[in-house]
Chain A
Amino acid sequence: MSAKLHAQGTAALPDIDALRAQFPILHQQVNGKPLVYLDNAASAQRPDCVIDAISQYYRRDHANVHRGVHTLSDRATQIFEQARETAARFINAGSSREIVWTRGTTEAINLVAQSYARPKLTTDDEILITWMEHHANIVPWQILAQQTGAHLRVVPVSDAGELDMEAFETMIGERTRLVAVGHVSNSLGTINPVADIVRLAHAYDVPVLIDGAQAVPHLEVDVQALGCDFYAFSGHKVFGPTGIGVLWARERLLEAMPPWHGGGEMIRTVSFQGSTWNELPFKFEAGTPHIAGAVGLGVALEWFMNQDRVALARHEAQLLAECTDCIESLPGLRIVGTAVDKVSVVAFVADDIHAHDLGTILDHEGVAIRTGHHCTMPLMERFAVPATARASMAFYNTSAEIVRLHAALERAIKLFRA
């Protein structure tokens, strides 16, 4: 079950020490040991330039955007809209009018559910999701199903943690109104064949929403090449701030969608006879936005695009292979999620040690991993495990850190099987 390398080739690996030097949080002791941060799928860390940009924005440039005639307001608006241009370039959107700032992936999906899908659905309609979705791509559709009487259908997942595409092909049909699927599974690391899914869905004129939260830190995403209709991601998973994210959608879809939240910024005129809506994307951005968050995310994406992404992907593939070997070499440990196509996420269980006990013992060795259901309770049920331990690597992790993970797991085994 070796992981397929995404970046083939023999070119030099990136200078990881130089990269790590830009992430101040990594250089600290936890419980007396140098921190090994392997919880990047929950939230990644950010480089100095992002932290500095946020600080500088508040120290020098802050005012409300799109409102004032004064210099600071102009400056804040300019930086804020520059960030939107950067986000558009990051996923190759056709235009920054298609970039809606949200609080994160979760809010972006809720926006699509309530604004795009809700007015269209009847009791005959179906929404198609998969068994490996994060709760953020399940619950908004459940709420929508309750509101409209439409039905939620769930594509099954194989024992390896791959989508059952044969089942997908039988489940999509005339009744399907939307497909919502994760690009990459946060719990398993599986990369889903989203371009194939889009092709199959479009054959029925069904639009596709892709939850890209776990994909953007690992894969180069091009929404036009994918051909999807909606793409959502969060800033904090891609080395930017928390509380900011992006919904990308095709302009003609956004034009046709009614506003979701009402308030300032999203209007053109307001009177008690009725109000009119602002142009895209502001129609969907009621209230003062998270300006500093958008600014920080813009800097993060710019920084990330300036790296040698192929080299980073190659390094991550190496870490994935090493981590996979590490878990497989330990007696009584089993990997959950052995898809051929994976990002650097390795979830595992031990026969006789609960994931939370592993998490506590590893923390005492300075190793931070995630334990629990990872906001994918149906998936845990599918694999008949109450919880898993999950090591998720970013490009700034090292082979030496995988060795530390191995040693910490050996300690846990020794403690429990003494």
Chain B
Amino acid sequence: MVELEMLYREVVLEHNRRPRNFRRLAAPCGCTEGINALCGDRLRVCVRLEGEQIIEAAFEGSGCAISMASASMMTEAVTGSTRQQARAMVAALGLLLATGESHTLPDQLCALAAVKAFPSRVKCAVLAWEALRAALAGEHLAITTEDELQYTD
């Protein structure tokens, strides 16, 4: 099953095992929690900026391998970029998961393109990114990547 091995590539599994920037920020400029109510995933993303530049991005919480790896890769990718550049990256990541196009994204994020073949897991990959977008916009209420909750058993 090639798709499955693409989804769980070593780079993804390695980020899941040893997530980068998985810690609490001492003096964050913005924090937002992302919740996938259906999965139980909860990630809190925090950023520290100097002017318009992101000096630190970090996250805490728990989630599946896809959401953890995506969050870990994201914090590495956006550190040092401007608020504007980070916003563009959030949009490009959304495009990557929707269409598979990745020409504006850093190479290390392209491992996430395999998630596109697993529609039920796309929300896992975007969770941290949506939380980052909200944190950069100063929205501190928790966000969810699910349009509707499922109440059936």
Decide if A372 touches B39 in the complex (CB within 8 Å): yes
Contact of B124 with A by CB under 8 A = yes
Q: How many residues of A contact B (CB 8 A)?
A: 32
Decide if B40 touches A416 in the complex (CB within 8 Å): no
Decide if B153 touches A386 in the complex (CB within 8 Å): no
Decide if A42 touches B153 in the complex (CB within 8 Å): yes
Decide if B40 touches A373 in the complex (CB within 8 Å): yes
- Contacting residues, chain A, for B65 (C-beta < 8 A): 353-354, 357, 416
Q: How many residues of B contact A (CB 8 A)?
A: 27
Partner of B62, one of A361, A373, A386: A386
Decide if B40 touches A372 in the complex (CB within 8 Å): yes
> Which A residues between 308 and 365 are near B, CB-CB below 8 angstroms?
352-357, 360-361, 364
> Which B residues between 83 and 125 are near A, CB-CB below 8 angstroms?
118, 120-121, 124
Q: Which of B7, B17, B38, B64 has the most CB of A within 10 A?
A: B64
Q: CA of A70 to CA of B40 in the docked complex: distance in angstroms?
A: 54
Q: CA of A62 to CA of B66 in the docked complex: distance in angstroms?
A: 49
From B4, which residue of chain A is reached at the shortest CB distance?
A364
From A365, which residue of chain B is reached at the shortest CB distance?
B1
- Contacting residues, chain A, for B8 (C-beta < 8 A): 357, 361, 415-416
Decide if A42 touches B152 in the complex (CB within 8 Å): yes
- Contacting residues, chain A, for B4 (C-beta < 8 A): 360-361, 364, 415
Contact of A65 with B by CB under 8 A = no
Decide if A374 touches B153 in the complex (CB within 8 Å): yes
From B40, which residue of chain A is reached at the shortest CB distance?
A386
Contact of B52 with A by CB under 8 A = no
Q: CA of A357 to CA of B66 in the docked complex: distance in angstroms?
A: 8
- Contacting residues, chain A, for B121 (C-beta < 8 A): 356, 360
- Contacting residues, chain A, for B153 (C-beta < 8 A): 41-42, 134, 136, 186, 213, 374-375
- Contacting residues, chain B, for A415 (C-beta < 8 A): 4-5, 8, 13
CB distance from B111 to the nearest CB of A (A): 15
Given A352-B17, A386-B41, 15 additional A-B pairs, CB 8 A: A31-B1, A32-B1, A41-B153, A186-B153, A354-B64, A360-B120, A361-B8, A371-B39, A375-B153, A380-B40, A387-B39, A415-B4, A415-B13, A416-B8, A416-B13
- Return 28 A-B CB contacts under 8 Å, by A number: A32-B1, A106-B151, A136-B151, A186-B153, A213-B153, A354-B68, A356-B64, A356-B121, A356-B124, A360-B7, A364-B1, A364-B3, A372-B38, A372-B39, A372-B40, A374-B153, A375-B153, A380-B40, A386-B40, A386-B41, A386-B62, A386-B63, A415-B4, A415-B5, A415-B8, A416-B8, A416-B13, A418-B13
List residues of B whose CB falls within 8 A of some A CB: 1, 3-5, 7-8, 10, 13, 17, 38-42, 62-66, 68, 118, 120-121, 124, 151-153
